[in-house]
Structure 1
Amino acid sequence: MVKRTRFDDNECPVARSVDAIGDWWSLLIVRDAFDGSRRFGEFQRSLGVAKNILSARLRTLVAGGILDSVPAADGGAHHEYVLTEKGRGLFPVIVALRQWGEERFFEPGEPRSELTDRRHGRPLRPLEVRAHDGRLLDPDETVVRKPADEASPG
């Protein structure tokens, strides 16, 4: 088996984030956790993923501090998986992926799941990237500053 490239010491926050999540199964597990799944069987039924793959992804998410494994709420012998604060921080990422997918991978009127505001039952507004002063930004209006750039004499 090929050894996976690690990015946990990379200077890029995107690379470190992808390293922490691992793969698309893991993002779908996190999505299901936001939707209320807590037990191994719930994740397995929802995703249809092989049990060995699900076990490995859950272990990785727990080891990465994204999920906690806790005793079952009903006092049973099994355990449940709950999002940690770090895991809950992925909510905007999941919403962004959902909104991107809704916009680009569905035909008008095609049935799809919908994320709504629990209080009002309305769809969420599209996420926006804004500057410190509140201006709406697009990719051409941003630049990545790397640590080496800041160390260079200017």
Structure 2
Amino acid sequence: MQRKTLLNAECPVALSLEHVGEWWSLLIMRDALQGLRRFDEFSKSLAIAPNMLTRRLNALVDAGLLERRAYSTKPLRHEYVPTERGRDLIGVIFALIAWGNKHFAGSEDSVRVVEKTSGRTVQPMMVDIETGTVVPWEDCEVAAGPGASDDMRERIAGIKTRLQ
């Protein structure tokens, strides 16, 4: 059975999941953002079947998250380098690390996100883009953007009405 596509969705969460919603995709991007580049490096890190790795790498290249670059011509071999779009996924990966540590890691974190120079643990947060002020999660909500369709505006308004 063919799964439903989210390519025509208006919601940015749905659109994002169309490209990285399968767990292997996020794990490959996690590894690529930490510096892995070659097929054998991903294969060893993830213990993923070669055919699945090939499909996921191709999908990530097609989605513009990775760029395929030849590093050997005989035999032809490629490396996979995060594009700007792919590098922007780092915030999502960092947020998943923090969320996973808080809710699933047990008593000791196995991985933390730290500030490079100090080594101090950092947490994802929302920041007012005009003032740089940190805004607590509980003070944030979803709002219709300037490109929202009437249906999206109704959907968001309906959710807010139901929650009041």
Indicate the residue corresponding to 1:121 in structure 2: 119
| Residues 98, 112 of structure 2: 8 Å contact kept | no
Mapping of 1:3-152 within 5 angstroms? Answer: 3-72=2-71, 77-108=76-107, 110=108, 112-123=110-121, 125-131=122-128, 134=133, 136-139=135-138, 141-145=140-144, 146-148=148-150, 149=153
Give the unaligned 5+ runs of structure 1: none
| Residues 39, 80 of structure 1: 8 Å contact kept | yes
Structure 2 CA distance for partners of 1:72 and 1:57, relative to 1, 3 Å: same
**Identical positions, percent:** 38
Q: Could you tell me which amino acid in structure 1 is paired with residue 123 of structure 2? A: P
Matched residue pairs, number? 147
**More strand per residue:** 2
- Equivalent-residue separation in structure 1 for 2:138 and 2:18 (angstroms): 23
Q: Where do 4+ consecutive residues of structure 1 move more than 4 Å?
A: 73-76
TM score, norm. by length of structure 1: 0.84
How large is the Cα RMSD of the aligned pairs? 2.3
| Residues 131, 137 of structure 1: 8 Å contact kept | no
| Residues 125, 134 of structure 2: 8 Å contact kept | no
- Equivalent-residue separation in structure 2 for 1:118 and 1:139 (angstroms): 28
TM score, norm. by length of structure 2: 0.79
Cα deviation, 1:77-110, whole Å, max 9, x if unaligned, reads: 31100000000010100000011001111222x3
Q: Give 1:4 deviation, angstroms.
A: 1.8
Q: Give 1:74 deviation, angstroms.
A: 10
- Equivalent-residue separation in structure 1 for 2:65 and 2:126 (angstroms): 24
Structure 2 CA distance for partners of 1:9 and 1:139, relative to 1, 3 Å: farther
| Greater mean alpha carbon deviation, residues 136-145 or residues 92-101 | 136-145
